Amino acid sequence: MADVHSKEVRSYNMSQIKGKNTKPEMLVRRYLHAQGFRYGLHNKKLPGKPDLVLRKYKTVIFVHGCFWHGHEGCKYFTIPKTRTEWWRQKIKRNKELDSQHIKALKSNNWHVIVIYQCEIKKDRREKTFENLLSHFSSIANV
Ligand SMILES: [Zn+2]
């Protein structure tokens, strides 16, 4: 694990902490919209308040920050060197909540898609969106 955050990584992490309407989420929304999908946003009635809700496909999408949601093995997830233990607990808790929410959704027959923000980075975006589309076409064909 890298000892020091590069400036780029640090500002990227900080930008994620703000939450709603973050840029990667906007990219996912714009893409799906352009493909003709319609969705609701930040549905408070569903566990974990999913970022996108596509009722027609019984699918919810979370767009997760790699840092905030502790994306294992991802270069954007490194625990800060100060208040390390506090961050460790904080992110552990976030991950626990995430999996509880996903479990609850799945037990209500929702399809749950989690997209990490690193998967929306330029070099990986196309692949991610392809996978997303194949999810919807696989449901539509059932
Ligand atoms: Zn990541």
Query: The domain that contains 69 carries what CATH number?
Result: 3.40.960.10
Structural domain includes residue 134: yes
Domain count, the chain: 1
> Per-residue pLDDT averaged across 119-137, rounded?
95
Structural domain includes residue 1: no
- Verdict on whether the full-model pTM lies above 0.95: no
Residue 42, judged by CB atoms within 10 A of its CB (0-12, 13-18, 19+), counts as middle
Instruction: Pick 19 or 113 by higher pLDDT.
Output: 113
> Per-residue pLDDT averaged across 66-94, rounded?
95
Question: In angstroms, what is the span from residue 67 Cα to ligand 1's centroid?
Answer: 7
**Where does the pLDDT of residue 16 fall: very low under 50, low under 70, confident under 90, or very high at 90 and above?**
low
The pLDDT, as a whole number, for residue 140 is 74
Structural domain includes residue 2: no
Question: In angstroms, what is the span from residue 59 Cα to ligand 1's centroid?
Answer: 22
The pLDDT, as a whole number, for residue 139 is 84
Name the strands in the sheet holding 52-54, side by side, starting at the edge strand that comes first in the sequence: 40-41, 52-54, 59-64, 111-116
Beta bridge partners of 114: 62
Question: In angstroms, what is the span from residue 77 Cα to ligand 1's centroid?
Answer: 7
Structural domain includes residue 60: yes
Q: Domain residues for 24?
A: 7-140
Structural domain includes residue 100: yes
Question: In angstroms, what is the span from residue 115 Cα to ligand 1's centroid?
Answer: 9
Q: Has residue 1 got a pLDDT over 50? A: no
Question: In angstroms, what is the span from residue 104 Cα to ligand 1's centroid?
Answer: 24
> Per-residue pLDDT averaged across 52-66, rounded?
96
Structural domain includes residue 68: yes
Question: In angstroms, what is the span from residue 141 Cα to ligand 1's centroid?
Answer: 30
